[in-house]
Structure 1
Amino acid sequence: MSSPLSLSEFPPLPGANATAVVLPSVGLNFILNLTKEDPVATDFSLEFVPPSIKVPFPAEELAYGTPNWSLSLVGYSIGPRPTYLSLMNALKKAWDLKGSMDMLSLNDGFFLFKFSSPEDYNSAWTGGPWFFFGHPFILQKWTPKFKPKRDEFTSIPI
């Protein structure tokens, strides 16, 4: 097995002065570079600042945006959470969409589906039960006060 090359064994770059660049033999060690103190990092400090006020949204402001989301469903899988792309591909095959559908990944394995066509929305909402990747997929109508919470099922009517 050959020994690793040192920097002095590499030929100089064309047009470069070979004596102009002098690399120190110290400081090229990966572990030493990770563990030594960074002089710039001490100039900046990070600290948590707790929020001081909550900004309330009046009901009329919430109601103003509601029509934009009226053709939206929220769904989640019982079982492992599917990936965004795999679920999008499965939905396109299962739901023969006439218009477009936007999908957003939310917290805790929830997905938001926003339809451009009322026909597509109704088809997805009433066409179930839906199973993707061998697991039931639960759909709920979107509401302005939606909070991602999984229902605890002891049984699911099919």
Structure 2
Amino acid sequence: MTARVLGGDFRVLGEEVHDENMEEIGEQGRPPGDPPDAPGSWVKKVVGCNEGGMPVPEEIVDESFVESNLKLEFPNGEDGEPVITIGEEVLMAMNGLWKRCMIVKVLGRNVPLLSLTRRLKELWKPAGPMFVMDLPNFFMVRFGVEEEYMNALSGGPWRAFGSYLMVQAWMPEFDPLRDEIVTTPV
């Protein structure tokens, strides 16, 4: 058996000696090739939300609640297309996921997501988390703190990149491909 010193560490080389740290990495019950953490799990652990600041739906709405307010029918028999009816209570609970979200449009300009994110953080100076997501023709901004959301929504008029920002609260009926923001604070 030989020993070798590498930068202050001793490593014993030989067939009968194994580095136990190498064998203990990862969970023993996990199949080989599975990642140790699901995507976004570190983010969720740190901020209590999924990527983009969105709460995890399963943690807000209980599965048994959804199942009790969900109806699955096969009007044309089991080989036909299913019809799923979601109860109003579930829809209202799911709308809570979009609390503290607003729709933003930069008038007359196409702005990259990262540039707008940086500018909005400079403009609104949120102390809590703020996430900006790209939508077709719009951006959606989600705040972690209710007061900061209300200040951004009701303050203004806001200007960025030499243009006005149109802002409105998120609504379940909003369709970024069809809708326009018609009013904004002045």
Q: TM > 0.5 between the two?
A: yes
Normalised TM-score (structure 2): 0.50
What residue ranges of structure 2 are gaps of 5+ in the alignment?
A: 1-80
Q: Structure 1: which amino acid aligns with 2:153?
A: W
1:118 pairs, out of 113, 133, 146, with 146
1:140 maps to which residue? 168
Q: Of 135, 152, 172, which aligns to 1:106?
A: 135
1:76 pairs with 2:125: no
Q: Deviation of residue 68 (structure 1)?
A: 2.1
Q: Which runs of 4+ in 1 moved over 6 A?
A: none
1:87 equivalent in alignment to 2:124: no
Q: Does structure 2 retain, via aligned residues, the 8 Å contact 1:74–1:110?
A: yes
Pick closer, same or farther for the CA change 1:56–1:105 going to 2, 3 Å.
Answer: farther
Q: SS where residue 73 of structure 1 aligns?
A: strand
With over 3 angstroms needed to count, the CA separation of the structure-2 counterparts of 1:55 and 1:82, relative to structure 1, is farther
Residue 61 of structure 1 and its aligned partner are, at CA, apart by 2.2
Q: CA RMSD in A?
A: 2.3
Secondary structure at the counterpart of residue 66 of structure 1: helix
Q: With CA pairs under 8 Å and 6+ residues apart, which has the higher RCO, 1 or 2?
A: 1
- Say if 2:154 and 2:185, in contact at 8 Å, map to a contact too: no
Identity %: 30
**Contact (CA 8 Å) 2:129, 2:145: kept in 1 or not?**
yes
Indicate the structure with greater strand content: 2
Amino acid in the other structure paired with 2:149: Y
The correspondence for 1:62, drawn from 86, 91, 94, is 91
**Deviation at 1:151?**
4.1
**1:95-132, Cα deviation, whole Å (9 max, x unpaired):** 1101001111011x211111110111011012211111
Q: TM-score, normalised by structure 1?
A: 0.58
CA distance in 1, matches of 2:123, 2:158: 9
Rounded to whole Å, the distance in 2 between the matches of 1:129 and 1:54 is 45
CA contact (8 A) 1:62 1:144 kept: no
Whose Rg is larger?
1
Whole-Å separation in 1 of the counterparts to 2:82 and 2:160: 42
How has the CA–CA distance of structure 1 residues 152 and 143 changed in structure 2, closer, same or farther, with 3 Å as cutoff?
A: closer
The answer as to whether partners of 1:78 and 1:136 remain within 8 angstroms in 2 is yes
For 1:54 and 1:104, locate their aligned partners in 2 and report how far apart those are by CA, in whole Å: 31
How much does 1:135 deviate?
0.8
Equivalent residue letter for 1:60? E
Q: Secondary structure at the match of 1:63?
A: helix
